């Protein structure tokens, strides 16, 4: 009998421990409405960890729709969210021509109820509901959402009154937060988000307004003096916050900007390339980030990963990425991203001039299979499109000029777009081929072709060998691409 009791107690303890562990790694959110209505509410989790991006490479955050309820069909929806650390969420409302977004701060163990009212408003009850109410009262999704509230006029060059209101909002937030802390226990992650966002958004708003004055509502390139003036705002205003400040998108964006400015001043950006930071600047900012963020381990690793990923994706050659990766492995031996970046570098090494193109079968607008090898006999320009019709208007001049000597093949690599939908929007013409890649083939293209939104072009000679895989987007005219087309069109 004693053994049976011990067994029962042991079993009960295991169940209880499992339940506590589950509760410590989840949060509950219940969405409710008083009655059925044509309103949709969606919960979007912002996961600030590096994730695979469009094409190759990593994005620093992932937006994941974890729940959505149509209140025309039901009035209650409960969602259990896997959560092992505090995260930000977006509560998105759509109905009756009204669209709103509220920010939520969620922790493991939270049990929150969101009541959706008939007036396109929400109220919060449950554990840590006070956090959500504070965010609702003082924080919109980002600083740009405040512009119409502050009376921003897009057609007006000078909107300096917006800066004054942005500064007033900063003071109101800080005053309200001090009162909030006196009445509520505040966890460090919530405080870090509030203070980092509050400190960063006014500076970003001031830069936006000043840049508009500089450009005078025209699409014009800023000169060196103007760029320096905007950069000086960041260098003066930005202050490093605790590691939990990475929850704030505004803070993450300005953290990278602050770290990069000294390096790009020493090693200026390529003037005609939208994306490329020079290899020298990358090595410099990588070292700078390690030094300046030495006392902030999460931010130090965040920036090091960001610059390493940039080196492995945005720089055509692999030498810079290899150099940074060697240091990264030593500095962050437990990083989960090392293997991904290593494989990415290997892919790029295989895509050098003279290497044969891996054969893959895609579908055309008639749903017929087209092997890349079947295009041999004539040089090919493959254009990887991450949205329907991307790049085609900008390539029209080159297409008209070289269509007789080069096959222009536009390959859709936009995930989640069915073949039937793609065919409806493709504009076929004799001078171009349009090809569609399934989600499975997109993964193959990532691995074998290194598809990247920054380098959407691949030039192949008539025998099926690579001429140049790493041709960047250049504006207004792509001189690099035209030079490669001239080479193969002879």
Nearest to 270 by CA among 54, 466, 478: 478
Residues present in the chain in total: 490
Helix (H, G, I), strand (E, B) or coil at 185: coil
Q: What is the pLDDT of residue 316?
A: 83
Instruction: Report whether the peptide linkage leading into residue 476 is cis, meaning its omega lies within 30 degrees of zero.
Output: yes
β-bridge partners, 79? 29
3-state helix, strand, coil in the chain (%, to 5): 45, 20, 30
> What is the fold of 2-138?
Immunoglobulin-like (2.60.40)
Residue 401: its H or E element: helix 392-402
381-402: burial string, b at 16+ Cβ within 10 Å, e else: bbbbbbebebbbeebeebbeeb
Integer Cα distance of 58 and 61 in angstroms: 9
Q: Are 146 and 169 in contact (CB under 8 A)?
A: yes
Is 2-138's fold the same as 361-488's?
no
Integer Cα distance of 124 and 113 in angstroms: 6
Q: Where are the domains of the chain?
A: 2-138, 160-349, 361-488
| Cβ neighbours of residue 326 closer than 8 Å, sequence gap 6 or more | none
Q: Are 328 and 338 in contact (CB under 8 A)?
A: yes
Q: What is the pLDDT of residue 315?
A: 87
Q: Which two tokens stand for residue 427?
A: 């504009």
Q: Please, what is the angle between helix 297-314 and helix 279-292, to 10°?
A: 170
* Tally of CB atoms within 10 A around 298: 14
Long-range own/partner contacts, residues 32-36 (CB < 8 A, 24 or more apart): 32/75, 32/76, 32/113, 32/114, 32/115, 32/116, 33/71, 33/75, 33/76, 33/115, 33/116, 34/75, 34/115, 34/117, 34/118, 35/75, 35/118, 36/71, 36/72, 36/73, 36/74, 36/75
Q: What is the pLDDT of residue 2?
A: 54
Q: Which two tokens stand for residue 61?
A: 């955050």
- Computed from CA positions of residues 221, 226, 230, 231, in that sequence, does the dihedral angle turn out positive or negative? positive
| Cβ neighbours of residue 306 closer than 8 Å, sequence gap 6 or more | 60, 256
Q: How far from 466 is each of 12, 131, 336, 459, 488, CA to CA, in Å? A: 64, 55, 32, 6, 11
What pTM value is reported for the model? 0.87
> What is the fold of 361-488?
Glutaredoxin (3.40.30)
Give one word for 127, left, alpha or beta, with left for phi > 0 and alpha for psi -120 to 50. beta
Q: What is the pLDDT of residue 16?
A: 44
Averaged over successive runs of 10 residues, the pLDDT of the chain (490 residues) comes to 53 48 79 96 97 86 95 96 96 94 97 95 96 96 86 81 90 97 97 98 90 79 89 95 98 97 89 72 98 98 98 91 98 97 94 95 97 96 95 94 96 94 94 96 94 93 96 86 94
């Amino acid at each position: 009998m004693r053994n049976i009791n011990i067994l029962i107690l042991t079993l009960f303890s295991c169940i209880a421990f499992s339940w506590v562990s589950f509760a410590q790694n989840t949060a509950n959110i219940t969405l409710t409405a008083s009655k059925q209505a044509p309103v949709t509410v969606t919960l979007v989790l912002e996961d600030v960890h590096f994730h695979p991006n469009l094409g190759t490479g990593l994005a620093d955050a992932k937006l994941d729709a974890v729940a959505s309820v149509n209140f025309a069909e039901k009035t209650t929806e409960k969602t259990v969210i896997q959560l092992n650390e505090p995260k930000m969420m977006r509560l998105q409302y759509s109905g009756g021509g009204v669209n709103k977004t509220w920010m939520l701060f969620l922790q493991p163990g939270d049990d929150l109820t969101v009541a959706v009212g008939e007036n396109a408003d929400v109220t919060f009850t449950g554990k840590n509901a006070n956090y959500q109410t504070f965010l609702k009262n003082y924080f919109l999704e980002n600083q740009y959402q405040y512009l119409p509230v502050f009376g921003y006029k897009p057609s007006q060059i000078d909107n300096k009154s917006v800066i004054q209101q942005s500064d007033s909002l900063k003071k109101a937030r800080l005053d309200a937060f001090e009162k909030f802390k006196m009445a509520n226990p505040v966890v460090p992650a919530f405080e870090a988000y509030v203070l980092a966002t509050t400190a960063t958004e006014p500076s970003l708003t001031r830069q936006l307004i000043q840049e508009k004055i500089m450009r005078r509502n025209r699409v014009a390139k800023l000169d060196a003096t103007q760029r320096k003036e905007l950069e000086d705002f960041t260098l003066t205003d930005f202050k490093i916050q605790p590691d939990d400040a990475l929850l704030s998108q505004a803070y993450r964006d300005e953290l990278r900007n602050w770290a990069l400015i000294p390096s790009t001043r020493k090693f200026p950006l390529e003037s005609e390339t939208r994306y490329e930071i020079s290899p020298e600047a990358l090595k410099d900012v990588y070292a700078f980030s390690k030094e300046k963020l030495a006392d902030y381990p999460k931010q130090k690793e965040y920036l090091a990963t960001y610059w390493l990923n940039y080196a492995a994706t945005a720089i055509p050659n692999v030498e810079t990425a290899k150099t940074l990766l060697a240091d990264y492995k030593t500095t962050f031996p437990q990083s989960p991203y090392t293997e991904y970046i290593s494989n990415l570098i290997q892919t790029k090494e295989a895509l050098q001039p003279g290497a044969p193109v891996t054969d893959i079968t895609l579908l055309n607008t008639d749903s017929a299979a087209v092997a890349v090898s079947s295009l041999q006999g004539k040089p090919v320009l493959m254009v990887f499109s991450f949205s329907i019709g991307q790049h085609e208007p900008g390539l029209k001049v080159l297409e008209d000029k070289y269509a007789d000597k080069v096959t222009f093949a536009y390959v859709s690599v936009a995930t989640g777009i069915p073949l039937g939908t793609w065919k409806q929007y493709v504009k076929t013409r004799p001078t171009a081929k349009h090809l569609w890649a399934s989600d499975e083939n997109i993964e193959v293209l990532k691995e074998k072709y290194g598809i990247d939104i920054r380098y959407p072009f691949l030039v192949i000679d008539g025998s099926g060998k690579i001429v140049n895989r790493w041709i960047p987007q250049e504006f207004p005219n792509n001189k690099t691409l035209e030079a490669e087309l001239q080479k193969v069109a002879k």
